[in-house]
Amino acid sequence: MKLFKKFKLFIFWKKVRSIIFLISILLPSIYIFIKLNKGVRLLTEELINNPLFTALVGAIIGGLLAFYVSIYIFNAERKAHAALSRRDVIFIPLYNDLLLFKESLSKDPCPGRIVINPEEKPFFSPKFSIWTSFKSDYRHLSVPKQLAFVLDQFMESIQKFSEMKKLACEDESVKETIKNILSSKFDGQFITRLDLVYHYLPCSSENKWLFEKLKDDVEIDSKSSNALMYSDEFIQDAVLMLYNQCGNDNNVSLLYSYRNDLEVNLDELIKTIEGEIVEINKSFEKYKGWI
């Protein structure tokens, strides 16, 4: 399902169809008028046989055609450059920011927060703030209404995910589940430092960020105490256990659902904007030889 209609850079064939229709109506009407009026027919035959008149008519028709072609080329050039400007100012920055956001989410599928404020430093958190920047200046005026609506919906999905992550992490039963799992799997001091419990709540059974987090915690504890070192398989099993058992909680289940919706919408948005960029590039390549 497309998020918004593709831009129509050139409407040449629409104009040609209109001209053909007009000629098909006008020429038969002139012919019938001449046939029905003998005086007009004689005058017409005399004018047609006059080389000066035919040259004048040819010059007028040629001038009109040249004028029409020049107007069409001017409009085509104006539309092409407007589309290129929109590509460079709107679509490419959005596309690049969305790709960076997707990359950040791949590293941390269940982030503690997502930064949407352009002035706020993300540190290690995913950030998608370009749409907020657009809405604070003139650029949002150049964004198609359908795309603006989709971006607003996408920002709402980010907000829903962030709010649900906070709510799930404040759930005492979720905190207890995480502590019980980690206590049963590991022997380390980091388990007593679970005040930042949202670090250990995954949104994916293969959460690489959480895997590295647990691995670092274990390594630090092994150097500061006599805690045991654990294999990668053992740590990955702990991540899977956290994902499955925490998912039994209603809030966490909703969190997983919001996280999935966020990823689906993100991929669709990237694909749509990529299609618009490709379409503009193709249109410009097609016409740049004569505009």
For 12, residues 6+ apart whose C-beta sits below 8 A from its C-beta are 72, 76
pLDDT higher than threshold 70 for residue 66: no
- The pLDDT, as a whole number, for residue 152 is 93
Beta bridge partners of residue 127, listed in sequence order: 115
Domain of 98 in residue numbering reads as 50-166+259-287
CA-nearest of 99, 92, 166 to 126 is 99
Q: Do 76 and 153 belong to one domain? A: yes
Mean pLDDT, the chain, whole residue set: 77
155 plus 54 within the same structural domain:
yes
Q: Determine, yes or no, domain membership for 30.
A: no
Claim to verify: residue 112 and residue 136 sit in the same structural domain: yes
Residue 160 forms part of a structural domain: yes
Cα dihedral sign for 166, 171, 172, 176? Answer: negative
* Per-residue pLDDT at 146: 87
Output the DSSP codes for 255-281.
HHHHHHHHHHHHHHHHHHHHHHHHHHH
**Residues 154, 269: Cα–Cα separation, whole Å:** 9
* Total number of domains in the chain: 2
Residue 244 lies in a domain: yes
Residue 149 and residue 243 share a domain: no
Question: Is the same domain home to 77 and 97?
Answer: yes
pLDDT in tens, 224-273: 555 567 888 888 898 899 899 988 999 899 999 999 999 999 999 999 99
Let me know whether 124 and 189 are in one domain.
no
The model carries a pTM of 0.70
Q: Do 115 and 240 belong to one domain?
A: no
Is 98 a residue whose pLDDT tops 90? yes
Closest CA to 238 of 218, 220, 258, 255: 218
- Rounded Cα distance between 19 and 13, Å, is 10
Mean pLDDT: which of 182-186, 205-209, 241-245 is highest?
Answer: 241-245
Q: Is residue 54 assigned to a domain?
A: yes
CB 76 within 8 A of CB 87: no
The reply to whether 207 falls in a domain is yes
